[in-house]
Copies of this chain bind each other. A is one copy, B any other.
Amino acid sequence: MIDIDQANQTAVERMMSARPILRRVVRAADVIPGLAERRLLHAGPPITWEQASGPLRGALMGACIYEGWATDAAAAEKLLASGMVPWEPCHHHYAVGPMAGVISPSMMVYVVENTTHGNFAYSNLNEGYGKVLRYGAYSEEVLNKLRWMNEVMGPVLAAALEVSGEGIDIRALLAESLHMGDEGHNRNKAGSLLYTARLAPWIVRVAPDSDTAASIIKFLADNALSVLNPVMAACKAMADAGHGVAGSTVMTTMARNGTELGIRVSGLGDRWFTGPAGAPDGLYFPGFTAADANLDIGDSTITETAGIGAFAMAAAPAIVTFISGTPQDAVNATLEMYEITVAEHTAFTIPVLGFRGTPTGVDIRKVVELGVTPRINTGIAHREAGVGQVGAGLTRPPLSVFEDAIVAYAATYLD
């Protein structure tokens, strides 16, 4: 007989003891296992061109132009619709990307090593705000910024990390930023400053000239999401450490492609359980309404999977000015998540809850039994390709994906 509780403890203890160190910045195709040339990665579970939403299509098209495989949007669309450029989930390659999550072969990626268990995870560089590829925009301005990020900033970050020696402990950085009003998903203001301040002296030393150094430091410092991508890679490294424990009902993946949301479960291998992605409820930028919103999209729910993000919202009461609600709602969000999780995180604590550990390791049994689904903090993309971000808010996955996973679990372990 399987001791499910014991299996879950093993899974969540592996997640919490994982120590994710940001080691390097490297060209994606040179480091991500299985990312061949002329192939794209994207957020969420697998999806066809026909099913793909506007922002995902836009980001895939933009990546084709960025890589020089197509000269314009029409050509890029043709290339993708014809199957000449295949795309696969980031999660199939130990990678994660925010929003559309598109990673193309020549983009630079962060390399995070879990030094406790030896696994690696990857994420791309954060583009900042405004019109950006991850929200499906692909204008010349968007692509020029990507070129600067990957051709100018990326090599400097790589050299800065290399000369700094020991790498950056992202779990320690997150623990600190949760004491500074971040929740690690939608609010990474403190974490991004900690990250920038840590790297800046090294950037100064390795940059080709002072103007380049100043531009890179300013780009990182002005973007309150600079550290989101290293944080996501760290959460992926932690979640992966808890994956594959026989008999465990702990959720180890939750991701959305803009059409569907998918989860994976520690004891159920690499099988996805998918359902419709949610419609976020939140605050919109001036000139936009819910009618403009795409369904929920992105791998960034790896943060909630690892015990931060919406699960740590009590640590980030100021976030409600950005995503709606009151500070008490933020506290309640965290309290509710204790109902469906296995453990309280040993590294991530919440001062206002008396330094209680964040709720960590969603047990799909509890989700189904209580009908309480995980909470998600998210950005909101415009539904059409080429526009960008229109707001930020809250959503949840469909209960059905957890029910489907329970059925599969029963078939696997209890027959």
Contacts and interface: CB of A to CB of B under 8 A. Distances in A.
Given A180-B189, A193-B193, A221 B204 contact: no
A136 to B, nearest CB: 29
A318 B351 contact: yes
Interface string A348-359: 000111110000
Contacts of A317: 351-352
Nearest to A210: B204
Interface string A117-151: 00000000000000000000000000000000000
A211 B210 CA distance: 11
Contacts of A196: 193, 197, 200
A214 B205 contact: yes
A328 B198 CA distance: 32
Nearest to A330: B351
A168 to B, nearest CB: 13
Interface residues of A, number: 35
A92 interface: no
A215 B355 CA distance: 34
A194 interface: yes
A217 interface: yes
A332 to B, nearest CB: 13
A189 B217 CA distance: 19
Interface in A192-210: 193-194, 196-198, 200-202, 204-205, 207, 210
A193 B202 contact: no
A29 to B, nearest CB: 32
Q: Which of A211, A320, A327 has the most B CB atoms < 10 Å from its CB? A: A327
Contacts of A320: 351
Interface in A179-231: 179-181, 189-190, 193-194, 196-198, 200-202, 204-205, 207, 210-211, 213-215, 217-218, 221
A326 interface: yes
Q: Is the interface of A mostly helix, strand, loop or mixed?
A: helix
Contact of A205 (B180, B205, B211, B354): B211
A204 B198 CA distance: 15
A193 B204 contact: no
Nearest to A328: B354
A196 to B, nearest CB: 6
Contacts of A210: 204-205, 207, 210, 213
B218 A201 contact: yes
Contacts of A207: 210
A201 B217 contact: yes
Contact of A181 (B190, B197, B200): B190
A337 to B, nearest CB: 18
Contacts of A204: 204, 210, 213-214, 217
Nearest to A213: B204
A77 to B, nearest CB: 39
A236 to B, nearest CB: 26
Contacts of A328: 354
Contacts of A211: 205
A215 B200 CA distance: 10
Given A180-B190, A181-B190, A200-B218, 8 more contacts: A179-B318, A180-B181, A180-B189, A180-B318, A200-B214, A210-B210, A213-B213, A327-B353
22 contacts: A180-B180, A180-B190, A181-B190, A190-B190, A193-B194, A197-B197, A197-B200, A200-B214, A200-B217, A200-B221, A201-B215, A201-B217, A204-B213, A204-B214, A204-B217, A207-B210, A210-B210, A210-B213, A317-B352, A326-B354, A327-B351, A327-B355
